């Protein structure tokens, strides 16, 4: 075989080897490409079911008040501030003396309001130009601990010069014990309601999860039934009657397994 033929065959073989290397290299790269995941993983969504029964229990207590609170006032109208202030002071001192004479202790008398007002309108309309009257008002809040004397004390204050009486409020001096009893009734009422709901729902009642007092929904004292006989002896007819205390508690129970 001639040298020329050998050169041609060598060149052809070299070309074949070169193409084979390129093909194998490309194939290897294709084989090593990582497989693409067919579907991305989805987040796991968990739902928590609130397995609980919530009720509001109510406890009512009827009690007789043991104190009375009232605001007694003296109002004085004069042509000058000095006259109005002096006249008001004299009358208030007389009223305070009358209250103390009725057994009201110093700790149970407290000033609740004092004012001086320049009045330019009389009972029949505007006063004459430049004419001014002065109105001085002094009020005291009084606690009466003997309810038998409420009417008598009011009469004594009026006789001493008091000309404003702003209502009479009956209450308990220490309501803590009665409030505790009302809460106990509210808890028992809540339990009864929760058991009824559980039975109707065909579930069992579990432990208490939370208890909270309902504020502003009846909780507090208010006038109940009035007594048939008024108290106060020969004084103004006053009826202490009864008070009712209502306490409400919201109770959350777990549903048993």
User: Mean pLDDT across the chain, nearest whole number?
Assistant: 80
C-beta neighbour count of 61 within 10 angstroms:
20
DSSP state of 108: G
At residue 226's C-alpha, the angle toward residues 225 and 232, to 5°, is 155
Mean pLDDT of 28-52: 50
Q: Considering the entire predicted model, what is its pTM?
A: 0.61
The predicted pLDDT at position 13 comes to 55
Residue 140: pLDDT band with limits 50, 70, 90: very high
Indicate the domain borders of the chain. Answer: 1-33, 52-64+175-255, 67-171
Mean pLDDT of 211-225: 66
The model's pLDDT over 61-94, given as tens digits with 9 standing for 90+, comes to 998 999 999 999 999 999 899 999 999 999 999 9
What CA–CA distance (Å, rounded) separates 257 from 253? 12
Beta carbons of 98 and 157 less than 8 angstroms apart = yes
Looking at CATH, the fold of the domain delimited by 52-64+175-255 is given as Translation Initiation Factor IF3 (3.30.110)
Residue 220: pLDDT band with limits 50, 70, 90: low
The model's pLDDT over 96-136, given as tens digits with 9 standing for 90+, comes to 999 999 999 999 999 999 999 887 776 666 666 667 889 99
Residue 55: pLDDT band with limits 50, 70, 90: very high
- The yes-or-no verdict on residue 23 having pLDDT over 70 is no
CATH classification (class only), 67-171: alpha beta
The model's pLDDT over 222-242, given as tens digits with 9 standing for 90+, comes to 555 433 333 334 456 677 778
- The yes-or-no verdict on residue 42 having pLDDT over 70 is no
The predicted pLDDT at position 215 comes to 85
Alpha-helix residue ranges (DSSP H) falling in 32-117: 81-101
Residue 137: pLDDT band with limits 50, 70, 90: very high
Alpha-carbon torsion, ordered 148, 154, 157, 158, to 10 deg = -150
DSSP state of 149: G
The predicted pLDDT at position 50 comes to 76
- The candidate with the shortest Cα–Cα distance to 59, out of 215, 183, 243, 218, is 183
The predicted pLDDT at position 124 comes to 63
What CA–CA distance (Å, rounded) separates 205 from 32? 62
- The yes-or-no verdict on residue 21 having pLDDT over 60 is no
52-64+175-255 and 67-171 agree in CATH topology: no
């Amino acid at each position: 075989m001639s040298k020329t033929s050998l050169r041609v065959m060598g060149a052809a073989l070299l070309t074949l080897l070169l193409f084979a290397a390129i093909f194998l290299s490309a194939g290897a790269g294709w084989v090593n490409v990582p497989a693409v995941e067919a579907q991305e993983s989805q987040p796991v969504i968990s739902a928590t079911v609130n397995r609980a029964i919530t009720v509001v229990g109510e406890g009512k207590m009827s009690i007789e008040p043991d104190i009375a609170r009232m605001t007694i006032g003296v109002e004085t109208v004069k042509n000058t501030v000095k006259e109005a202030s002096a006249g008001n002071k004299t009358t208030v001192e007389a009223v305070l003396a009358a209250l103390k004479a009725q057994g009201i202790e110093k700790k149970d008398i407290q000033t609740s309001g004092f004012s001086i007002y320049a009045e330019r309108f009389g009972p029949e309309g505007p006063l004459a130009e430049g004419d001014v009257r002065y109105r001085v008002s002094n009020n005291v809040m009084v606690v009466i601990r003997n309810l038998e004397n409420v009417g008598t004390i009011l009469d004594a204050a009026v006789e001493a010069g008091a000309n404003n009486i702003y209502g009479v409020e009956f209450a308990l001096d220490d309501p803590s014990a009665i409030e505790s009893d009302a809460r106990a009734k509210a808890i028992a009422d809540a339990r009864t309601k929760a058991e009824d709901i559980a039975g109707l729902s065909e579930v069992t009642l579990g432990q208490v999860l939370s208890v909270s007092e309902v504020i502003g929904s009846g909780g507090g004292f208010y006038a109940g039934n009035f007594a048939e006989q008024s108290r106060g002896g020969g004084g103004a007819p006053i009826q202490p009657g009864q008070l009712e205390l209502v306490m409400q508690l919201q109770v959350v129970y777990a549903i048993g397994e």
